[in-house]
């Protein structure tokens, strides 16, 4: 499973990139707002750091506006993927952009039928938001297995990005299902690395090592 980082923070992306984990980046208007900087500048900086796909979201609600924004966004860097909301106008825009060869990430997907329509429109990626479904007492992760099955039934190439990931269990379940990609906030990436038994194991090894007389005498 590929790992994308879900952030617009250049600092977080730099730190995660050092770990050799980052296959791509997803941003959205909320994440951009947290940076409080010019979004185009932020995207340019991110694209210079990461060779994989970087999703940048449009804010228009009409297909023509979305397509215009997409044309501007792809000028920023060659790895830009245009993020489009899953509404009727969004599907129209995806159809146009996919015919032009512009890569799209259809976002705010909450049902398997929405995901089916996005694939039919030619989406490169679909982003089902599992945490937000959990928030309203639905098993968000079930949506991922449903979409995976539907896409396999009809040989769609649209890749599933598990989004709105809130914890390591989401990541583990996404990988068990065989999702193509999980886009993960930096804090959750850190949680994936840590295990209390790893930490206590290191402490014990170091304590035991200090007890070797030859090690102490050598000092």
Which of 109, 124, 183, 189 is the binder for ligand G3P (CB under 6 A)? 183
Nearer to ligand G3P, 6 or 69 (CB): 6
The footprint of ligand G3P on residues 28-67 (CB under 6 A) is 28
Strand partners, 32: none
- DSSP assignment string, 108-162: EE-SHHHHHHHHHHT-SEEEEBHHHHHHTTS-HHHHHHHHHHHHHHTT--PEEEE
Which of 5, 12, 26, 140 is the binder for ligand G3P (CB under 6 A)? 26
Nearer to ligand G3P, 60 or 110 (CB): 110
**Contact yes or no for 69/60 (Cβ under 8 A):** yes
Nearer to ligand G3P, 11 or 71 (CB): 11
**Contact yes or no for 36/215 (Cβ under 8 A):** no
Residue 81, both tokens: 């993927």
Residue in 2, 83, 148, 210 annotated catalytic: 83
Q: How far is CA 125 from CA 157, 183, 208, 209, in A?
A: 9, 12, 50, 50
Nearer to ligand G3P, 47 or 83 (CB): 83
Please say if 210 is a catalytic residue.
no
Q: How far is CA 93 from CA 57, 61, 63, in A?
A: 13, 10, 5
Strand partners, 81: 55
Nearer to ligand G3P, 139 or 199 (CB): 139
Residue 110, both tokens: 């909450």
Give me the 3-22 binding string for ligand G3P, x by CB under 6 A, dash otherwise. Answer: ---x----------------
Residue 164 engages ligand G3P in binding (rule: CB under 6 A): yes
* Among the listed residues 157, 147, 138, the one whose alpha carbon sits nearest the alpha carbon of residue 112: 147
Least Å distance between CB 210 and ligand G3P? 44
Q: With contacts defined by CB under 6 A, how many residues of the chain interact with ligand G3P? A: 10
Residue 163 engages ligand G3P in binding (rule: CB under 6 A): yes
Cβ atoms < 10 Å from Cβ of 136: 8
Residue 151 engages ligand G3P in binding (rule: CB under 6 A): no
Residues forming contacts to ligand G3P in the complex (CB under 6 A) are: 6, 26, 28, 129, 131-132, 163-164, 166, 183
């Amino acid at each position: 499973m590929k790992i994308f980082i879900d952030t617009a923070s250049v600092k977080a992306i730099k730190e995660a990139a050092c770990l050799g984990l980052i296959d791509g980046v997803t941003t959205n208007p909320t994440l951009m707002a947290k940076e409080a900087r010019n979004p185009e500048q932020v995207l340019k900086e991110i694209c210079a750091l990461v060779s994989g796909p970087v999703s940048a979201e449009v804010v228009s609600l009409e297909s023509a506006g979305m397509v215009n924004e997409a044309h501007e966004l792809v000028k920023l860097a060659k790895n830009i993927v245009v993020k489009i909301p899953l509404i009727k106008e969004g599907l129209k825009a995806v159809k146009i952009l996919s015919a032009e060869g512009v890569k799209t990430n259809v976002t705010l997907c909450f049902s398997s039928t929405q995901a089916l329509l996005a694939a039919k429109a030619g989406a490169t990626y679909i982003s089902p938001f599992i945490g937000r479904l959990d928030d309203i007492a639905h098993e968000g992760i079930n949506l991922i297995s449903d979409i995976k099955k539907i896409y396999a039934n009809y040989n769609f190439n649209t890749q599933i990005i598990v989004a709105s990931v809130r914890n390591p269990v989401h990541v583990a379940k996404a990988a068990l299902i065989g999702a193509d990609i999980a886009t993960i906030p930096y804090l959750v990436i850190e949680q994936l690395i840590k295990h209390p038994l790893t930490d206590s194991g290191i402490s014990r090894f170091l304590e035991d090592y200090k007890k070797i007389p030859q090690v102490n005498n050598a000092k």
